[in-house]
Amino acid sequence: MSRIGKRPIAIPDGVTVNLDGQQVAAKGPKGELSIVLVKEVMAEMGDDGITIVAKDDSKRARSMWGLSRSLVSNVITGVADGFTKTLEINGVGYRAQVQGKDLKLTLGLSHDVAYPIPDGIKIECTKPTEIVVSGIESQRVGQVAAEIRRYRPPEPYKGKGIRYAGEYVFRKEGKKK
């Protein structure tokens, strides 16, 4: 039994969900998203929300049950509230700023890095050392944050680089004489 899969998905106010066979479409204040479920599971509308049900007891159906429930939940959360990831920049002279449709990163390299902001993603720099990535698709928000972090991941000796907010970087001791 999937512990995640058997929980119903509550539908918040202002969100309409449309079930059409294997396709689940949601429309809310932030936008519209849809997902096509695999053939081993199906979605049912109930009094307490949407329930994902495995069609049989095969290993693949049980594997897809919890995954499908999480994906549908992310679609509904995305159109209702959206997703955000916050990145922090540590290092002397390291900073970020949004210029038009690009994110300009100064990271101690021989050149400034210009990261083009993808469609459907909003990037804000509230401080020169803080980047807020937001959007309605959880996977795309996480992917964009990971791509930005990849330019200068945090290093273990001084802790310089780009890290997620709240991320712990294991610090190492330097050389001893």
Closest CA to 76 of 5, 155, 10, 145: 10
Structure confidence at residue 159 (pLDDT):
87
Alpha-carbon distance 105 to 98, whole Å?
9
**Position 172 in a domain:** no
Is 76 found in the same domain as 97? no
pLDDT category of residue 116 using cuts at 50, 70 and 90: very high
Mean pLDDT of 61-74: 92
Mean pLDDT of 32-52: 91
- Is a pLDDT exceeding 70 seen at residue 2? no
Is 89 found in the same domain as 76? no
pTM of the model: 0.87
**Position 116 in a domain:** yes
> Domain with 129 in it: what CATH number?
3.90.930.12
Is 63 found in the same domain as 49? yes
**Position 176 in a domain:** no
Alpha-carbon distance 103 to 105, whole Å?
6
Is 30 found in the same domain as 92? no
Mean pLDDT of 30-41: 92
Give the count of domains, the chain.
2
Is 51 found in the same domain as 29? yes
Helix (H) or strand (E) holding 1: none
Could you tell me the residue range of the domain that residue 25 belongs to?
16-80
Residue at a domain's end among 38, 56, 80:
80
**Position 74 in a domain:** yes
Is 160 found in the same domain as 89? yes
Residue at a domain's end among 30, 49, 80:
80
- Is a pLDDT exceeding 70 seen at residue 1? no
How remote is the C-alpha of 123 from its chain's centroid? 13
Is 130 found in the same domain as 108? yes
Structure confidence at residue 5 (pLDDT):
82
Is 103 found in the same domain as 144? yes
With a CB cutoff of 8 Å and minimum separation 6, the contacts of 57 are none
Phi, psi of 119 (to 5 degrees): -65, 145
With a CB cutoff of 8 Å and minimum separation 6, the contacts of 104 are 96, 97, 98, 112, 113, 114, 115
Mean pLDDT of 122-143: 94
**Position 169 in a domain:** no
Structure confidence at residue 176 (pLDDT):
84
**Position 106 in a domain:** yes
Alpha-carbon distance 38 to 45, whole Å?
17
Structure confidence at residue 177 (pLDDT):
78
**Position 9 in a domain:** no
Is 54 found in the same domain as 43? yes
